[in-house]
């Protein structure tokens, strides 16, 4: 299964890179490009290669410092092999996953745990993206007018992500700080010494970015000598950041297309911009090619200090690293942005890179253990493999019908690999921390979603009071950080399911501060759960509201969920709503409210939206009727109906989409898999948190999916992985139970 994942991911990365690269070349006069490159002197390329050679050294130093930060001392020579193999991995498997896999292959003989390598690579990427992102914003503000800058921010959710995600992480850190000493799992990372070491790592990253800028400046001033320097630096910040987006192979294609667009804004022709970008890419690859023969040198087998044998502080630091990655993923999975690499918009979840990095560690662990991840559902890996084959067949069938479509190849086929990665991340979480990992995900999600809802209510309030002239978000849409109210409602449903299923465990925990209990922690989370229930109502998603009412009521009356927990949470939701409404009334009476608008009222979809939904379902059923066994093929519906709807439109029903494009074969396989999952939950005590949670989320998926396409919601697959994962130490006992 893992080899198939790697091959398909490689295929998707190659398609994206070459597709965007071909698009970039279509804007360029080839003769002009050849003429531009002919004027570049050989010494210019020599200087650029030399700069990238120095950059390789800086990247290696940064990796060495990061490993040392987490208690692992490795020599420069050993890490150079890891850096070179990560470059080769990036070329073969894509930027993020390939880089981590290359390092795994180089360092697995030196007692570095695979999950530590993946976590460190993730943190390294986060550092570079944050630095590049800040510089990119500055560069964009320099090149374009301020009005255009703010107009771009208003069209995306970047601004809300920039202040909401740090707020969520800060709230989680605060909650952890109120626990007793044993509960402060990753506060060991915040000593003065650690902070100073981290500042040094940031400094090395800045130096590495600076060298890339220098290479761009050298070639640009050679090709277009009259370019204004500060405008050029501003443009380079945008190009370098765009190239770091993980949708291609080492930035190829994205870098070229962005260069043509941005350098054109400062007066550089498309042909010259393409020469500049391609020259930078080639020189960077040549610098690695110069050093690659080092891999032929026989590796030294000097063992590094084993992490498990380290003293307690360093061992605790490594545990904190994994704990931090799980916490970060639980927050980032709630946020996504939309990118447009071709002609179709694709939703890019901010947790995707972190999950794919972690997947590389699981691949190495699986290879070493010579066993696949196991689940509480018998033969689940087989069902996943069979559905993957059905998707491949649907992809090929769609290709023969309508040709290549980005939606099918990148959105559906590539998206399926990402869903499997999220499910495996759930396995990783349980295997690392057992039930504590599930509780951590639940805590992080409920704190983050509550913060998102609270920020939305506060931003709407200060707009009504006239403190700000424009609202921070669309007042008619309660969409969270996913820019879609139905997707946000589904996130709230999954979080609610996790909380209610694990309420018996959470109720046993207390928050301590300064050696004494300051509050009952479970009551605190009940209040936050009430805020989440209120959020489901405010989204205006009828499917979300009805699903929560039916599923929660059913499981409560069946005795699976505690009635007290449900009623308390509903009561807190009503209290929060009434207090907010009372506050609005008092402000209105005092004349403080200066703007009339809807406040804390759900905005339900209108007749046009409902008509569109039912029309897509009707057309989907018609498509299935004409191809009942194997379906029409992936991407056929959206390709053949774009002209009818004047824009790309999906079938607004998960079962109908599966029937229309994958036929009875795909639908039957999904039904059998779902039945197997539900059956496995009933084999044991359904009141146990894991079994109760899996039944609740499967019920939400079944009801919500009737009128929405939610198959590719990451949070659902993460929850599935959390609930079904069987850690290594439990496998023998599970086999004996199943035998009985």
Digit-coded pLDDT (tens) for 528-587: 999 999 999 999 899 999 999 999 999 999 889 989 999 999 999 999 988 888 877 777
* Long-range CB contacts for residues 563-567, cutoff 8 Å, separation at least 24: 565/500, 565/503, 565/507, 565/526, 566/500
Would you give the distance in Å from CA 247 to the centre of its chain? 13
Q: For 68-104, how does the pLDDT look when each residue is reduced to its tens digit (9 = 90+)?
A: 887 778 888 888 888 888 887 777 766 666 777 788 8
- For residue 42, with 0-12 CB atoms within 10 Å meaning exposed, 13-18 middle and 19 or more buried, which class applies? exposed
Tell me what pLDDT residue 624 has: 93
Task: Identify the weakest region by mean pLDDT among 197-211, 295-309, 485-499, 683-697.
Answer: 295-309
Would you give the distance in Å from CA 128 to the centre of its chain? 17
CA distance 636 to 559: 45
Contacts of 68 (CB under 8 A, 6+ apart): 197
Tell me what pLDDT residue 299 has: 60
Contact of 222 with 44, CB cutoff 8 Å: yes
Q: Model confidence at 160, in pLDDT bands (50, 70, 90)?
A: confident
**Average pLDDT score over residue span 493-501:** 94
Q: Name the phi and psi angles at 155, rounded to 5.
A: -85, -10
Is a pLDDT exceeding 90 seen at residue 175?
no
Is a pLDDT exceeding 50 seen at residue 654?
yes
**End-to-end Cα distance, the chain:** 29
Token code pair at residue 126: 């986060």
Is a pLDDT exceeding 70 seen at residue 526?
yes
Token code pair at residue 366: 């699986």
Q: Name the phi and psi angles at 684, rounded to 5.
A: -110, -175
* CA-derived radius of gyration, the chain: 26
Of the candidates 574, 584, 662, which has an alpha carbon nearest to the alpha carbon of residue 397?
662
Is a pLDDT exceeding 80 seen at residue 210?
yes
Q: For 288-322, how does the pLDDT look when each residue is reduced to its tens digit (9 = 90+)?
A: 888 888 776 666 554 444 333 333 445 566 677 78
CA distances from 573 to 447, 627, 693 (A): 15, 47, 22
Beta bridge partners of 346: 339
Only one residue has tokens 């570095």, namely 112
Q: Model confidence at 638, in pLDDT bands (50, 70, 90)?
A: confident
Task: Identify the weakest region by mean pLDDT among 348-357, 412-421, 614-623.
Answer: 348-357
CA distance 698 to 686: 13
Q: What predicted TM-score, i.e. pTM, was given to this entire model?
A: 0.82
């Amino acid at each position: 299964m893992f080899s198939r994942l790697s091959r398909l991911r490689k295929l998707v990365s190659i398609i994206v890179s070459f597709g965007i690269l071909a698009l970039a070349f279509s804007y360029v006069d080839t003769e002009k490009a050849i003429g531009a490159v002919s004027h570049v002197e050989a010494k210019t390329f020599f200087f650029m290669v030399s700069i990238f050679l120095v950059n390789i050294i800086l990247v290696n130093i940064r990796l060495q410092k990061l490993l040392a930060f987490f208690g692992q001392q490795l020599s420069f020579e050993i890490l150079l092999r890891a850096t070179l193999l990560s470059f080769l991995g990036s070329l073969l498997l894509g930027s993020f996953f390939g880089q981590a896999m290359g390092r795994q292959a180089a360092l697995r003989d030196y007692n570095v745990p695979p999950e530590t390598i993946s976590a460190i690579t993730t943190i390294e990427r986060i550092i570079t993206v944050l630095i590049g992102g800040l510089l990119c914003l500055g560069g964009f503000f320099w090149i374009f007018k301020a009005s255009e800058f703010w107009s771009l921010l208003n069209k995306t959710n970047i601004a809300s992500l920039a202040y909401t995600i740090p707020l969520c992480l800060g709230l989680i850190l605060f909650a952890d700080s109120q626990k007793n000493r044993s509960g402060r799992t990753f506060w060991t990372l915040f000593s003065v010494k650690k902070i100073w070491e981290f500042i040094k790592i940031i400094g090395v990253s800045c130096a590495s970015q600076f060298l890339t800028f220098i290479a761009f400046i050298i070639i640009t001033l050679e090709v277009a000598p009259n370019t204004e320097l500060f405008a050029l630096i501003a443009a380079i910040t945008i190009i370098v950041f765009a190239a770091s987006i993980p949708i291609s192979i080492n930035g190829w294609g994205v870098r070229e297309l962005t260069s043509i667009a941005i350098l054109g804004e400062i007066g550089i022709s498309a042909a010259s911009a393409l020469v500049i970008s391609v020259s930078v890419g080639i020189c960077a690859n040549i610098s690695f090619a110069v050093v690659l023969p080092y891999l032929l040198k026989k590796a030294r087998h000097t063992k590094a200090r084993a992490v498990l044998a380290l003293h307690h502080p360093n061992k605790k630091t490594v545990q904190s690293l994994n704990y931090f990655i799980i916490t970060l993923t639980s927050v980032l999975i709630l946020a996504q942005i939309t990118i447009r690499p071709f002609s179709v918009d694709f939703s890019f979840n901010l947790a995707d890179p972190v999950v794919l990095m972690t997947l590389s560690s699981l691949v190495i662990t699986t290879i070493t253990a010579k066993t696949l991840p196991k689940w509480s559902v018998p033969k689940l890996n087989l069902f996943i493999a069979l559905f993957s084959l059905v998707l491949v067949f649907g992809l090929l069938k769609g290709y023969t019908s309508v040709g290549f479509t980005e939606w099918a190849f990148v959105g559906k086929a590539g998206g399926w690999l990402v869903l499997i990665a999220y499910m495996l991340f759930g396995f990783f979480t349980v295997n690392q921390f057992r039930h504590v990992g599930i509780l951590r995900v639940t805590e992080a999600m409920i704190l983050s979603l509550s913060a998102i809802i609270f920020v939305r209510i506060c931003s709407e309030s200060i707009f009504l009071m006239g403190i700000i002239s424009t609202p921070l978000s669309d007042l008619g849409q309660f969409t969270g950080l996913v820019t879609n109210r139905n997707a946000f409602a589904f996130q709230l449903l999954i979080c609610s399911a996790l909380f209610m299923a694990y309420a018996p465990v959470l109720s046993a925990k207390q928050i301590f501060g300064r050696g004494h209990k300051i509050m009952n922690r479970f009551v605190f989370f009940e209040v936050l759960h009430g805020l989440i229930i209120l959020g489901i109502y405010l989204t205006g998603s009828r499917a979300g509201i009805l699903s929560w009412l039916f599923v929660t009521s059913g499981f409560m009356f069946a005795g699976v969920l505690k009635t007290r927990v449900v009623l308390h949470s509903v009561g807190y939701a009503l209290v929060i709503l009434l207090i907010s409404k009372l506050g609005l009334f008092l402000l209105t009476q005092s004349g403080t409210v200066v703007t009339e608008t809807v406040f804390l009222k759900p905005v339900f979809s209108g007749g046009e939206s409902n008509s569109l939904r039912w029309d897509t379902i009707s057309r989907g059923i018609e498509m299935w009727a004409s191809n009942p066994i194997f379906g029409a093929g992936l991407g056929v519906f959206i390709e053949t109906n774009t002209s009818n709807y004047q824009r790309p439109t999906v079938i607004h029903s998960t079962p109908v989409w599966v029937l229309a494009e994958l036929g009875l074969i795909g639908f039957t396989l999904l039904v059998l898999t779902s039945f197997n999952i539900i059956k496995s939950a009933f084999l044991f005590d359904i009141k146990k948190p894991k079994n109760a949670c899996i039944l609740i989320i499967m019920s939400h998926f079944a009801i919500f999916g009737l009128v929405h396409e939610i198959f590719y919601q990451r949070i659902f697959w993460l929850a599935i992985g959390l609930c079904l994962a069987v850690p290594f130490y439990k496998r023998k006992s599970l086999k004996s139970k199943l035998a009985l």
